[in-house]
Structure 1
């Protein structure tokens, strides 16, 4: 300190801390001259003493004017040192950097000015302080004082020039600092950061692309800035980097893919578009590097397929097709389970297009990696079943395609049908809205006879009789063009072994519904049995539901499907039992109904025919007064039991046993219906005894709406 005081006059030191700028400036010029003389004489010890004095007594002084004088003095000393300044920078620069964060804006301004003048002298030698300078400039770019901001901008431009021409700059040391600052929200800081990224990327010897994953997320964050200028700068920087990626042989796609996946879900439209555009390029360029990230990428693409912005939808679809066209081996880190998880999750999307593409992915995986997909079947099966309730027919059809593909294996086929019946049982709305579509499609995909046999086997042992009744599959069989082959097979039931087996297989479950059995018999041309079924019906069977279904059957008899039956009426003598069955149906219909008029009109067109005694005897059902119904050598007595005689077999079908099976099943249904009616009556009686006050206190849980619906209120697949 004494050395410094011996070379710097007291008047100079006094003026250096004066409140007037001109006096401080003149004093600084004298300091410059003194230091220059010391440098020429090589007395660096005294130079160090002068710098130490300026730093300690001035730049760290509690007096603002002293700090201002110290800063201008240090800059002057550096100018005086010229080429000798580098060896004293460790003393000169730290006090100046400290002053850049001074609480006094004027001090901060002079600090910027001082560092600017120092940098002009030492140029590249200043690089060793780059990170500290960058950190200070980052803060000053958002300074509250406009003059300080202006001075900082000048200093910033000079430092950029120095860095671009220096071969000492360390990008490895700088990147952590940049990464730390990238998520700052201040617009001035953001402009500052983008400016530096752009400048450094323009330097051929600096590999900014190699460190892109470190600050890529920050750049994407800026795309949604409220300032158009910042958005434009960030977009420009990203566009430049994307172009470099296209031209670069080695890029870390993986780390960047993780960032892009997150940004593809941004609420900002421009950010989503940019992210999905990058993903599109990565899928084209990334190759094997991206295999471990396929699931994450797919998770980003699928929602964008339904984006409200058309540009995003277009790029997302293109990317999706590109990704699906890449054939990868599970042995090469291709995670089938992860892809399935994403596809399954997207089946819950509110957007139809996304759900459809998710199903296409499951289908693609089944086609390419069937064994691996089936290993995850338990994870996706319930979701696929749930998707059968989707509001979109296209989604439902795709789900059925997938189910059919899975069900090529016998054990999976049985599992599918069991689960399907279960879903129909617990969700009657699914049965009503989608039942026919689902069964028809499965019949096309999996062989109609196989599907119907399996359904019949399951329904045969169905404990829920109401459900078994409404699950009757007759109307689908009678109306669907997809089931024409099955109808033709059933028409051969009395003459063909395959037809007989199918008839017997269906009969057990279809006897839950009188109308189903009647339609099955008419289709199989088992007219005598149809007549016996009609005559076996009792009063309780002929309810509103029965009449509604009978109306449907009568109308179906007028369709092309039953053209063969109507033509058979041209030979009434040969088809006596058909005629009797139709007349039996006519007798069950109310005269005022439209179905009655339709059937009566049809029967009036039957050619007149004289029956001989034997024919009449064969056609007779016996004396009604005897209360015994005769059927082909068998009798159903008053108590509902069947008494069999010989001659009741036709093509191996024991129709007498079938009729007994039907009668017993209908008796079970009647008992169930009576039980339900008694339950309703008891509930109503309880409510009446308790009075309106008790009913109100019970709330909705005692409402009749929560009681099991009557059979007549339920609808079937038809």
Structure 2
């Protein structure tokens, strides 16, 4: 320090700390000359002492003019050293960088000016302090003083020139700092960062693409910035990187996909669009489905909601991604299992079923169908985890969604154990949710009949309902099944089998399968008999009806049946009325129904009108024959086994008796509850 004081005069030191800029500048020029002389003489120890003096007594001084003088002095020393400046940079640059945080804006301004002059002298040697300089410039880019900002911009441009022409820049050492700064939301800082990313990417020797995942999220965040210029700069940078990705073979897709998936869910519309566009292009580039397959579940989770986005371009891109993923799963991925996480994809599809967006629910169900269709053995093990979710969707307000979930359920139920389980779950859901049976029961059952064979469906329903202990529900369920059987085009094959009469073995087997459960509903039993041309048994069932059976619900069902008899389905029955001698029990059955109907009802008038059309020339003879027990069923198809139908009538009576017993118990329980409540109130 003494050497330094001896080297420079007291007047120079005073002028260097003067409040007037001109005096400080004059002192700096004088100092520059002194340093040049010392450098020529090779006396670097005195130069070191001088730098220490300027640092301690000036840049660290509490007086702002001293600090300003110290900064200009350090710049002058660097200029004086010229080519030898690199020997002293580790002492000259740190105090200048520290001054960037000075409370006095003028000091910060002079720090920029000093570092600018230092950089001009040392050029490439400057790279040693790049990270510290970058960090300081990053902060100054958002400085509150416009003059400081302007000075920082000049310094920034010079540093960029130095970096682009230097072969000493180490991108791997810079990236962690860039990654850290990308989280800053200040608009000036963001512009500063995008500028640096663009400049570094333009240098062929610097591999910014290789480190793109480290700052990609920050660039995407800038797409939603309030400033148009920042959004535009970020967008241009992203488009440039995407183009580079398309022309490169070594790209870290995985880390970028994780970022894109997150950004595809952002509130900002343009951010979402850019993210799904990138994902779509990534899938196009991955032609062999080798790179991104392990991220399919994450991608699917991001784009399923986007398929229903209000922005058409986002919807289109998301739909393209979805189809590419499904195509890959149904195609090339079936040949190998490495990387493809079936359980994760299935779970994403399951979660989509609870989405508020109809399109998303539809796409999720399509995915489930694809997985069960192509990976049945691997996916079926997860059935317990998703079955309840699928059944819940049966209550969806959209018919498209319901039809799709039925497709999935049918795909699951193609194996017998799962078929039985499906019917059990459906009946359980119908019992738990009566509105589901009322609103969607017909649609569900008819669709399953198309997908899984109607006869198989009806036999399984009948077998389960035969064991049902809640008889009221069983009756309701049977009435629904019976109405579908009598009216739906999907059940035409079953009706054809039953209509062959019980002389046909297949017709008899189907009748035997349905009959026990159909006994829960007298009207369903009668309808089944009419459908199978078991007219004698139909008449027996009608004659055996008791007072408990003849309630309002039963009369409503008779009304429906009578009107159904006028439909094309029962055309054969109406034609048989032309031959009363051959079908006497048909006549008696219809007259039995007529006698049960109130005269004022429309069904009574319809049926009476129909019966009036029966040829009268043989009616009296038929009545006599029926009364005497003579049967005129000459056609082999219509022969009825007395013992067979006696057992069936016994079954009917037993089931109806169980209904009466359960009804009495319910009534007794209700009476006891009511009595207990009244006694408490009393």
Is this a same-fold pair by TM over 0.5? yes
Aligned to 1:487: 495
Aligned to 1:674: 664
Moved more, 356-365 or 604-613: 604-613
CA positional deviation for 1:269: 1.0
- Conservation of the 8 A alpha-carbon contact between 1:515 and 1:549: yes
Q: Deviations over 1:637-670 (max 9, x none)?
A: xxxxxxxxxxx99359711111111112112222
CA positional deviation for 1:320: 0.7
Q: Distance in 2 between matches of 1:167 and 1:258?
A: 33
Which residue of the other structure, out of 517, 520, 527, is the alignment partner of 1:519?
527
Q: Indicate yes or no: 2:289 matched with 1:299.
A: no
CA positional deviation for 1:102: 1.1
Aligned to 1:420: 426
Q: Indicate yes or no: 2:623 matched with 1:616.
A: yes
Aligned to 1:433: 439
- Conservation of the 8 A alpha-carbon contact between 1:500 and 1:653: no
- Conservation of the 8 A alpha-carbon contact between 1:307 and 1:313: yes
Q: Indicate yes or no: 2:216 matched with 1:216.
A: yes
CA positional deviation for 1:146: 1.4
Q: Indicate yes or no: 2:95 matched with 1:95.
A: yes
- Conservation of the 8 A alpha-carbon contact between 1:504 and 1:653: no
Q: Deviations over 1:393-441 (max 9, x none)?
A: 1111111111111211111111111111111111111111111111111
Q: Distance in 1 between matches of 2:221 and 2:326?
A: 29
Q: Distance in 2 between matches of 1:351 and 1:444?
A: 28
Aligned to 1:706: none
Aligned to 2:634: none
Aligned to 1:657: 647
Moved more, 403-412 or 123-132: 403-412
Q: Distance in 2 between matches of 1:321 and 1:651?
A: 60
Which residue of the other structure, out of 328, 331, 356, is the alignment partner of 2:333?
328
Aligned to 2:251: 251
Runs of 5+ consecutive residues of structure 2 not aligned to the other structure:
632-637
Q: Distance in 2 between matches of 1:657 and 1:572?
A: 27
Q: Indicate yes or no: 2:42 matched with 1:35.
A: no
Q: Distance in 2 between matches of 1:103 and 1:50?
A: 25
Aligned to 2:589: 581
Q: Distance in 2 between matches of 1:92 and 1:268?
A: 47
CA positional deviation for 1:687: 4.7
Q: Indicate yes or no: 2:417 matched with 1:411.
A: yes
5 Å matches for 1:235-314?
235-286=235-286, 287-314=289-316
Aligned to 1:636: none
Cα distance change on mapping 1:673 and 1:631 into 2, 3 Å: farther
5 Å matches for 1:465-484?
465-472=471-478, 473-484=481-492
CA positional deviation for 1:233: 1.1
Q: Distance in 1 between matches of 2:358 and 2:626?
A: 59
Aligned to 2:45: 45
Moved more, 671-680 or 212-221: 671-680
Q: Distance in 2 between matches of 1:654 and 1:668?
A: 22
Q: Distance in 2 between matches of 1:174 and 1:32?
A: 33
Aligned to 2:561: 553
* Runs of 4+ residues over 6 Å off in structure 1: none
Q: Secondary structure at the match of 1:180?
A: helix
Q: Distance in 1 between matches of 2:68 and 2:357?
A: 65
- Conservation of the 8 A alpha-carbon contact between 1:301 and 1:320: yes
Q: Secondary structure at the match of 2:647?
A: helix
Q: Distance in 2 between matches of 1:378 and 1:434?
A: 23
Q: Secondary structure at the match of 2:101?
A: coil
Q: Deviations over 1:217-260 (max 9, x none)?
A: 11111111111111111111111111111111121111100111
CA positional deviation for 1:159: 0.5
Which residue of the other structure, out of 373, 376, 381, is the alignment partner of 1:375?
381
Cα distance change on mapping 1:438 and 1:652 into 2, 3 Å: farther
CA positional deviation for 1:82: 1.4
Q: Indicate yes or no: 2:507 matched with 1:499.
A: yes
Moved more, 162-171 or 52-61: 52-61
CA positional deviation for 1:682: 4.2
Which residue of the other structure, out of 355, 361, 369, is the alignment partner of 2:367?
361
Aligned to 1:709: none
Q: Distance in 2 between matches of 1:156 and 1:610?
A: 114
- Conservation of the 8 A alpha-carbon contact between 1:649 and 1:655: no
Q: Secondary structure at the match of 1:654?
A: helix
- Conservation of the 8 A alpha-carbon contact between 2:580 and 2:618: no
CA positional deviation for 1:305: 0.5
5 Å matches for 1:176-191?
176-191=176-191
Aligned to 2:163: 163
Q: CA RMSD in A?
A: 1.8
Cα distance change on mapping 1:649 and 1:680 into 2, 3 Å: farther
Q: Distance in 2 between matches of 1:376 and 1:323?
A: 21
Aligned to 1:456: 462
Cα distance change on mapping 1:69 and 1:237 into 2, 3 Å: same
- Conservation of the 8 A alpha-carbon contact between 1:306 and 1:353: yes
Q: Indicate yes or no: 2:177 matched with 1:206.
A: no
CA positional deviation for 1:508: 0.3
Aligned to 1:533: 541
5 Å matches for 1:569-718?
569-611=577-619, 615-620=622-627, 650=640, 654-691=644-681
CA positional deviation for 1:455: 0.6
Which residue of the other structure, out of 546, 550, 567, is the alignment partner of 1:542?
550
Q: Distance in 2 between matches of 1:36 and 1:603?
A: 131
CA positional deviation for 1:676: 3.0
Q: TM-score, normalised by structure 2?
A: 0.95
Q: Distance in 1 between matches of 2:115 and 2:191?
A: 22
Moved more, 200-209 or 325-334: 325-334
- Structure with greater contact order relative to length (CA < 8 Å, sep ≥ 6): 1
Q: Secondary structure at the match of 1:48?
A: helix
Aligned to 1:193: 193
CA positional deviation for 1:686: 4.6
Q: Distance in 2 between matches of 1:493 and 1:250?
A: 74
CA positional deviation for 1:610: 2.9
Q: Distance in 2 between matches of 1:553 and 1:540?
A: 20
- Conservation of the 8 A alpha-carbon contact between 2:245 and 2:251: yes
CA positional deviation for 1:331: 2.3
Aligned to 2:227: 227
5 Å matches for 1:98-109?
98-109=98-109
CA positional deviation for 1:600: 1.0
Runs of 5+ consecutive residues of structure 1 not aligned to the other structure:
623-629, 633-647, 695-718
- Conservation of the 8 A alpha-carbon contact between 1:532 and 1:631: no
Q: Distance in 1 between matches of 2:236 and 2:673?
A: 75
Q: Distance in 2 between matches of 1:160 and 1:558?
A: 91
Cα distance change on mapping 1:265 and 1:427 into 2, 3 Å: same
CA positional deviation for 1:41: 2.2
Moved more, 497-506 or 681-690: 681-690
Q: Secondary structure at the match of 1:65?
A: helix
CA positional deviation for 1:612: 6.3
